[in-house]
Amino acid sequence: MTGGARLAWVCGGLLTLLVAVAFGSLLVGAAPVAPGAVLDLLTGRGPAGGTERTVVLSIRLPRIAAAMLAGGALAVAGAGFQALTRNPLAEPSILGVSGGAAFGVVLAQVSGMGQGVVEALGLTAFGFTGAAAAGAAVYLIASSAAGFPVHTLLLAGVIVGIFFSAAITVLISIVDANRLGGVIHWLLGSIGPIAPSQLLVFTLATAAGVWLVLGQARALNLLALGEEGALELGVDALRVKRRIFVGAALLTGTVVAFVGPIGFIGLIVPQIFRMLLGPDNRVLVPAALLGGGAFLLAADTLARTVVAPAELSVGVLTSFCGAPFFIWLLRSRVARVTP
Amino acid sequence: MTALAEFKGVSFAYRESAKGRPPFSLRELSFALAPGEVLGLIGPNAAGKTTVIRLLSRVLHPSGGVILIDGESVESLGRVAVARRIAVVPQDVPQGFPYTVEQLVLMGRFPHAPARFFESREDLRIARDAMALTGVEALAVEPLDRLSGGERQRVVLARALAQQPRLLVLDEPTAHLDLRYQAECVALLRRLNRDQGLGILLVSHDLNLAAEVSDRLLLLAGGAAVKLGTPDDVLQESLLETVYGCRVVVDKHPATRRPTVSVLWPDGR
């Protein structure tokens, strides 16, 4: 089977899964809606007004879109960071990049960013800047002549993460708490109501980030040969690394801006697909995008139904799955590749 | 006739070096490799052999002089064009992500169509031919981390052949190979050289291997050329003893009559 045919099969399968999860997610919640009614509403045949219409189209649908975008973006960012650092444990939250983005977003909220699209763009820009700053700091701390030793990179990420979380605490302490409504919930990573303007910016920024990573996917594979090996095969390694870094930081910053720093998606999803499909980034990145969307959407649906009418932060759920997964990876896979 | 690869007064200095040691440098190195020639690059540690490979493959850039491939400057050719002409076979590939043998060999096709997202059927055919040449076609779907060192080295050679280069640069090609595969590797290199006119730059500490397969040898020491000539010219006892700083005996291979070098151990026995 050629690469293109394989990619088409994988994407077709995962797209079906994503649509199925999304449809299931539309049905369940504090106010159950029958499948027939949901189909009617989606195809425009439902009643013009009513609670069901509001619940399905104005509350659940935007939230489902946000969950899919966030999950896909984080998974692609994770795949990008892993290939970039040649470290299977790299991931936005472990690398401290999410922490940097969260600091940027809190800073933007404190200084006030206006309304609508302007606010959404401002939050994204601050999130991206924070993510890039944290990523650059981790890079400078961890890089050595021999590349990125696995454990040094993780430690550098943890330290940068701690620094930014302390900085966020300082900001929250000195600012009037009312201006940062819901910040604690957001810091845990939770998908809430999202305005159409925000959803628009979220979609465009995610598309840009995915394009940056996916466009370099073939060259990114060659980076696995080491920087020198990639250069010898004609890969402009610096340009590839820069694009992946900017793309992954943009994805992380955008997700943090709209749904908070949700952890471990960028670790779990690329790892699972690498086990199932192999390390080829040309298949792995699209699979992570669709599979990450389905995974986080399923987690968010669980988060809003499992303790209904209250809600869990979805970040809590992903951490419950992610932490044991991380430990298992650290014990089994990394032990084999590092001395 | 235009040389396949030529160094003209090439100088280079690394910016940083270990504490207290002067930075390593290459001083005005000149040599030429004719099309279809096998040139052996030998010399003690820190002689500059690896630096020559990195300069030739455009990983490093010379501070003085010019490097030509087919009469064109490496700098003006650009990275991708250089990779279509020169393939480097490293000693090993980094482990980490479990690419399969076929995926790794296909990476050699990158410089021929860098803008393409997936390799073409033609790329796949060329990769499979290269795998057949080095005897790893049966391992096609095996992940690299399940292979032995010798198998991995043959896979890396297949990747370099998939690049369809005019010059093959080999860095210690037999380091991980047992006797049988060393012999097969030498036979394969000779065949490629003879049948396809592939130029070979062989970098090795194994003087006997270099003497066996090379048309000429270039002896480097301390970043400068000490001698360039036929194996018989270069492998002289007095010269080697000065350069390597140990006693050696040069003899003839009983079958091929090529020179062989043996170390005379310091305790004299």
Residue A226's nearest CA partner among B49, B55, B119, B91 is B91
In this prediction, the residues of chain A whose per-residue pLDDT falls under 50 are: 337-339
Q: Which residue of A lies nearest to B108 if distances are taken between CA atoms?
A: A233
Show residues of chain B in contact with A4, CB under 8 Å. Answer: 118
Question: What are the tens digits of pLDDT across the range B83-111?
Answer: 999 999 988 788 778 899 999 999 999 99
- Distance, in angstroms, between A228 CA and closest chain B CA? 7
Instruction: Give the count of Cβ contacts less than 8 A between chain A and B.
Output: 91
* Best residue of B80, B97, B155 to probe chain A, by most A CBs closer than 10 Å: B97
Residue with tokens 């990275």: B79
What's the domain count of chain A? 1
What gap in Å lies between CA B113 and CA B107, rounded to an integer? 11
Rounded to two decimals, what is the model's pTM? Answer: 0.90
Domains and CATH numbers, chain B: 5-229 (3.40.50.300)
What gap in Å lies between CA A323 and CA A93, rounded to an integer? 12
Average pLDDT, chain B: 89
- By the 8 A CB rule, do B90 and B129 touch? no
In this complex, do A231 and B95 lie within 8 Å of one another by their Cβ atoms?
no
Helix (H, G, I), strand (E, B) or coil at B62: coil
Look up residue B209 and give its two tokens: 């291997």
- List, as one string, the DSSP characters of B146-189: GS-HHHHHHHHHHHHHHT--SEEEEESTTTT--HHHHHHHHHHH
Q: Domain holding A252: CATH number?
A: 1.10.3470.10
Question: What are the tens digits of pLDDT across the range A140-189?
Answer: 888 776 666 767 888 899 999 999 999 998 988 888 666 666 777 788 88
Q: Is residue A81 part of a domain?
A: no
Show residues of chain A in contact with B114, CB under 8 Å. Answer: 218-219, 234-235
Q: Is residue A302 part of a domain?
A: yes
Question: What are the tens digits of pLDDT across the range B16-45?
Answer: 655 555 667 888 999 999 999 999 999 998
* Residue A310 CB neighbour total at 10 angstroms: 8
What gap in Å lies between CA A275 and CA A284, rounded to an integer? 10
Q: Is residue A262 part of a domain?
A: yes
Residue B171 β-bridge partners: B203
Please indicate if any CB of chain A lies within 8 Å of the CB of B57.
yes
- Distance, in angstroms, between B159 CA and closest chain A CA? 10
Question: What are the tens digits of pLDDT across the range A310-338?
Answer: 788 888 889 888 888 888 887 876 555 44
Which amino acid, residue B69? I
In this complex, do B99 and A224 lie within 8 Å of one another by their Cβ atoms?
yes
Q: Is residue A249 part of a domain?
A: yes
In this complex, do A83 and B97 lie within 8 Å of one another by their Cβ atoms?
yes
Residue B170 has pLDDT above 80, yes or no: yes
Show residues of chain A in contact with B118, CB under 8 Å. Answer: 2-4, 7, 218, 282
pLDDT category at B193 given cuts 50, 70, 90 is very high
Show residues of chain B in contact with A221, CB under 8 Å. Answer: 99, 103, 107
Question: What are the tens digits of pLDDT across the range B201-220?
Answer: 999 989 999 999 999 999 99
pLDDT of residue B136: 92
DSSP 8-state assignment for residue B112: G
| Phi, psi for B96 (deg, rounded to 5) | 155, -70
Which amino acid, residue A126? F
Q: Which residue range is the domain that position A196 belongs to?
A: 89-337
Strand pairing class (B216-221; B5-13): unpaired
